Amino acid sequence: MNGHRQSGRLGIGIIGAGHVGPVLGVALAGAGHAIVGISAVSAESLDRAEAMLPEVPILDIPTVIARSELVILAVPEKELAALVAGLAATQAWQPGQLVMHTAPGVGTSVLAPALAAGVIPLAIHPAMAFTGTSLDLIRLRESFCAVTAPVPVQPIGQALVVEMGAEPVLIDEEHRPAYAEAIETATSFSRAIVSQATELLGSIGVESPGAFLGPLVRSAVENALTLDIAPPGLSKLSWDAADLARDEDES
């Protein structure tokens, strides 16, 4: 354990082989860290773990924790609190161990039972929609990650994000619910609108409506993100006027 710390490399264990955990494991392994184990229960999660991390042993949760210097809790947010508390009750956590969860809506407060056992808490959420495949590694390098941690620990969280290839953004503990709402709004709205549009195109006989809409949706979103947000100090009214003038020039 100390050898990993001295060299700057960590032995990392992953609890949860859903869409997120194995991808982060591959990203961190690419930065030189050692993935010492992953837990997986369902047949689908077992297949994903074996496909993404073929050399990593699949272990039960207590063994993953016992072997790890950094434990990644990549489980659904609704299951997180009970998991952390249950492991604390069995004295599974180790003093000085880094424990990081990936849930968007909570910060490090959910790790309080583990913190009482002496762990170092981190909450890191990648702001992207995961597929659970190698495609996510490319998208991760274009993404941001929300980092919530006690001030002395923030550099560790930021460094882990950079090692994964993403850009860290500090989010205060009290702002995590608002952050999660923003992520959910963007994700669910995009999914619903694209689904509705593809159904309409399919109903009129357009083949591969998803491929047809891809360039349109991507360009529309990029325009919305770069053009439709008023810069600081510029009122929305004046920004709309500038948009109108630009549209006239382009027509």
CA distance 101 to 173: 13
Token pair, residue 187, equals 């994700």
The pLDDT mean for the chain works out to 87
Domains assigned to the chain: 2-171 (3.40.50.720), 178-250 (no CATH)
CA distance 27 to 38: 14
Q: Are 114 and 121 in contact (CB under 8 A)?
A: yes
Q: What is the mean pLDDT of residues 214-229?
A: 74
Q: pLDDT of 74-127, one tens digit each?
A: 999 999 999 999 999 999 999 999 999 999 999 999 999 999 999 999 999 999
The count of other CB atoms within 10 Å of the CB of residue 38 is 28
Is the pLDDT at 217 greater than 50? The verdict is yes
CA distance 139 to 29: 17
The count of other CB atoms within 10 Å of the CB of residue 246 is 11
Q: Are 119 and 91 in contact (CB under 8 A)?
A: no
CA distance 233 to 187: 28
Q: pLDDT of 39-72, one tens digit each?
A: 998 999 999 999 999 999 999 999 999 999 999 9
